[in-house]
Amino acid sequence: MPTTFNAFASGAELAGALAERVAAALRDGIAARGAASLAVSGGSTPKAFFAALSGHALDWQKVTVTLVDERFVPPDSDRSNHRLVAENLLQSEAARAHFVPLYHPAENVEIAAAEASIETAAIAAPFDVAILGMGGDGHTASFFPGGSRLSEALAADTPRGVITMTAEGAGEPRLTFTFSALNDARLLVLHIEGEAKKTVLAAAQAEGEETEMPIRAVLRRAISPVEIYWAP
């Protein structure tokens, strides 16, 4: 599907515009279906966007928030995406949203992924909004180059769900939604910032294997149009 590239003068301007866009999409989902869902990425990029979105007035109690991916760490870890979302998005107006974590204190990450798949299956598909980030290696979600289950994660016929991923660049074992669970979000956004990420994006948009730069799967095969939000 096509991509649109939305460039902003600053991260603050991007955060405001993306928060408006996402809040409108959530209101539309609530109006159409009585509920809405939002899957967000972790990392450092989304903090200003989270803060901007948290202040928007809408029926947050009808919104389910979850994560695109998570590190296999408890929510009190400073590596936790759950903690990042709790501290930056689930505040102010958005504090009323229902949050579904991916991490579970299971004895191993495989059991945690199975539990996350069961729990997130209750979220109506497709997501109303999915916000993807991108690493300098071209990963998105936890689709890392060299990832232990990368081909499975990216395959269009892999069922929607949460699977594990380990990779050299990932740090802890990861829990990640599959490509099939993310690529048909009604609003599919890739949020990246900085000149370096813009260069990585250009490389991803060139020829090459998806497994070398997994963001290529999204750019090339997503069912939904990809809205790219970028600021210097």
Ligand X SMILES: O=C(O)[C@H](O)[C@@H](O)[C@H](O)[C@H](O)COP(=O)(O)O
Q: Which residues bind ligand X (CB under 6 A)?
A: 41-45, 68-69, 81, 133-135, 139-141
Q: What six digits make up the tokens of 229?
A: 């939000």
The whole-angstrom separation of Cα 222 and Cα 215 is 10
CB of 147 to ligand X, least distance (A): 12
Q: How far from 71 is each of 8, 66, 84, 187, 203, CA to CA, in Å?
A: 30, 13, 12, 24, 27
Question: Which CB, 196 or 223, lies closer to ligand X?
Answer: 196
The whole-angstrom separation of Cα 20 and Cα 22 is 6
* Residues whose CB falls within 8 Å of the CB of residue 204, separated by 6 or more in sequence, listed in order: 134, 138, 213, 215, 216, 219
CB of 88 to ligand X, least distance (A): 12
140 in Cβ contact with 134 (< 8 Å): yes
Question: Which CB, 69 or 115, lies closer to ligand X?
Answer: 69
Question: Which CB, 29 or 133, lies closer to ligand X?
Answer: 133
Question: Which CB, 30 or 165, lies closer to ligand X?
Answer: 165
Question: Which CB, 118 or 196, lies closer to ligand X?
Answer: 196
CB of 92 to ligand X, least distance (A): 22
CB of 140 to ligand X, least distance (A): 6
Taking CB atoms, the residue at the shortest distance from ligand X is 133
Length of the chain: 232
The whole-angstrom separation of Cα 190 and Cα 220 is 13
CB of 139 to ligand X, least distance (A): 6
